[in-house]
Structures are given as structure tokens and as C-alpha cells.
């Protein structure tokens, strides 16, 4: 089987590194490279992934992402596991890049799991305008892997023991990276977005725009901006950038009937 060409756009959390290890090592995937929003993040991600014995190319900024998509010999599967800042900037540089993406997989969104707001997890809350731009772009196939899905398969110490028992550098590193999250009460979200590429049956998906109530991307953006403004106005609350977690609430109306936007709400 020919490996699926994959690009990962991420931030510098430990579960991003686990997702990259999976994308780099699975025989069904061909990792073309990784992009981040900043040089500092690129250095941090490369160091985290190196703990698994891999030297993965990690590129800061948007230029590499634009070039990688433009020059791809076939449509690329693009997986985002951080805020959508980089991808929105890439689209601003070249709107036609959507034609180079066979599938866009965005880690985040929620129906039942609490977010920063009812409609926004950490990633969209960090840059709601970028999230609205990306989710309104004419990608042919979009999948949001929600916090509901990642919560339904939350890792525990027994899972980490099974990873360590595999004995490979990557498995041991993944276990230790995951352990750092569990110790501070955080879930391991990002690898599920990559796992969805190789095991589609893991996820139960819903067609966005169907019954049950949906939100337009602009509604998500306005709500997230209002919430951030209220937080900034509260005494003792700083305005620093916070990055981790998901995307906007995944029940988003897709205004483009020619494209497909699905949301994953459960993992088997």
C-alpha cells in the first residue's frame, strides 16, 4: 500500500510529539514534514520527538507549509493539532492551497466536554479568527476530532504500562510524554487525530449541519472574542497567549454544499 502523504501543523505540547511519532512511524503514512507557528516551538517539538529516537524536520512559520502544499505531487492529508494560525496565514498567502489538501483533520471541538467557552476549546480560543477562516475555506473534506472522542478513550496508567512493555524507543518516549500530561490532570488528545487516518473505524462521526443544533464559524469567532475580552477585563487575568487543546465547537454549519465537514464525537 502506498503511504498517505501527511503534513502535521502543531504547537509544542507533549501530545503533539506523540502524534508526530505515530505519523512518522506508521507504515501507512508518509510524513512529509511538520510546521509550527514559531522558531521556538519548532525547536521544542523537534527535541520532544527526538526522545523517541527520531529526527523529524520541523519548520517554523508559514513559508514551508505553503511550499509543501504547492509542491505536493498528490493531494496531502493535513493534520492540525494546535491553533489554526499557521494554516489561516497560508490560506491568506494562497487561497488555492485548499486544492492541494485531500483531507483536513482538525483536532478539537466539543459537544459535551467543557471547553474554554461553550463553543471553543483552547485552539480556537487562542486564535478564533484563524479558526473561522480555516473552517470556512473550501477544503473538499474536513474532519474535526472532538474532545468528546478523546475523552471517551482517555489514557490511564495501564495504557502507559502497555506502551512501555513494547520496548521500542518511540513507545517508551510516548509513554513518558503521556505520563507528564496525566500527572497534571491533562488528557492526551492529539494522537487520535492521526490514528483516525489509519483506523477510521475508531471514530463515530456526525455530518455537521445535521439535526441537533449547529453553529456557524462566525458565531464561534464572535463568542470566543467576547469571552476573551471579558477575561482580559477581569482583575488578575493576563492577556498572554495560551495554547493547548482543541478547536471550536465541532457542530459547525458548513455553508459549502460541495464539501464535506464531519465531526468525530466518540471513539470505540
| pLDDT single digits (tens) 15-68 | 999 999 999 999 999 999 999 999 999 999 999 999 999 999 999 999 999 999
Q: How many domains does the chain have?
A: 1
> 166 near 22, Cβ under 8 Å?
no
CA 60 to chain centroid: 17
Residue 19 dihedral angles phi and psi, to the nearest 5° = -60, -40
Report the pLDDT averaged over residues 111-115. 77
The band of 9, judged by pLDDT with boundaries at 50, 70 and 90, is very high
**Which of these is catalytic: 26, 59, 189, 223?**
189
Q: Which residues, including other chains, have CB under 8 Å from residue 89's CB and lie 6 or more apart?
A: 62, 130
pLDDT of residue 121: 78
Q: What is the maximal distance between C-alpha atoms in the chain?
A: 57
H helices of the chain, in order, are: 14-25, 39-50, 63-71, 85-93, 122-126, 128-136, 147-152, 157-166, 169-183, 191-198, 217-233
Give the orientation angle of helix 63-71 with respect to helix 85-93, to 10 degrees: 60
- For the stretch 124-162, pLDDT in tens is 788 989 989 999 999 999 999 888 888 888 899 999 999
CATH code for the domain of 18: 3.90.245.10
3-state secondary structure of 145: strand
End-to-end CA distance of the chain: 25
Q: Confirm whether 223 is a catalytic residue.
A: no
Average pLDDT over residues 188-196: 94
Q: Sign of the C-alpha dihedral, residues 145, 151, 155, 158?
A: negative
Tell me the residue range of the domain where 238 lies: 4-267
Q: In the prediction, which pLDDT does 78 show?
A: 98
d(CA 101, CA 54): 26
CA distance 94 to 96: 5
pTM, whole model, 2 decimals? Answer: 0.81
Pairwise CA distance, residues 18 & 186, whole Å: 14
pLDDT class of 115 with cuts at 50, 70, 90 = confident
Amino acid at each position: 500500500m502506498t503511504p498517505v502523504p501527511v503534513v502535521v501543523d502543531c504547537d509544542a505540547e507533549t501530545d503533539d510529539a506523540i502524534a508526530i511519532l505515530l505519523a512518522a512511524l506508521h507504515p501507512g503514512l508518509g510524513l512529509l514534514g511538520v510546521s509550527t507557528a514559531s522558531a521556538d516551538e519548532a525547536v521544542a517539538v523537534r527535541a520532544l520527538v527526538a526522545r523517541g529516537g527520531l529526527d523529524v524536520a520541523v519548520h517554523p512559520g508559514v513559508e514551508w507549509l505553503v511550499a509543501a502544499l504547492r509542491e505536493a505531487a498528490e493531494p496531502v492529508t493535513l493534520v492540525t493539532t494546535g491553533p489554526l494560525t499557521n494554516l489561516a496565514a497560508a490560506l491568506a498567502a494562497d487561497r488555492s492551497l485548499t486544492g492541494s489538501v485531500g483531507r483536513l483533520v482538525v483536532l478539537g471541538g466539543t459537544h459535551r466536554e467543557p471547553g474554554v467557552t461553550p463553543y471553543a476549546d483552547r485552539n480556537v480560543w487562542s486564535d478564533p479568527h484563524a479558526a473561522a477562516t480555516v473552517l470556512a475555506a473550501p477544503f473538499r473534506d474536513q474532519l474535526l476530532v472532538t474532545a468528546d472522542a478523546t475523552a471517551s478513550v482517555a489514557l490511564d496508567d495501564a495504557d502507559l504500562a502497555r506502551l512501555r512493555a513494547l520496548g521500542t524507543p518511540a513507545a517508551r518516549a510516548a509513554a513518558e510524554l503521556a505520563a507528564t500530561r496525566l500527572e497534571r490532570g491533562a488528557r492526551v488528545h492529539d494522537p487520535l487525530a492521526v490514528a483516525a487516518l489509519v483506523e477510521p473505524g475508531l471514530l463515530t462521526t456526525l455530518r455537521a449541519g445535521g439535526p441537533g443544533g449547529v453553529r456557524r464559524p462566525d458565531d464561534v469567532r464572535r463568542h470566543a472574542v467576547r469571552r476573551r475580552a471579558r477575561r482580559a477585563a477581569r482583575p488578575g487575568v493576563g492577556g498572554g497567549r495560551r495554547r493547548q487543546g482543541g478547536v471550536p465547537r465541532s457542530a459547525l454549519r458548513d455553508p459549502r454544499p460541495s464539501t464535506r465537514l464531519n465531526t468525530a464525537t466518540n471513539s470505540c
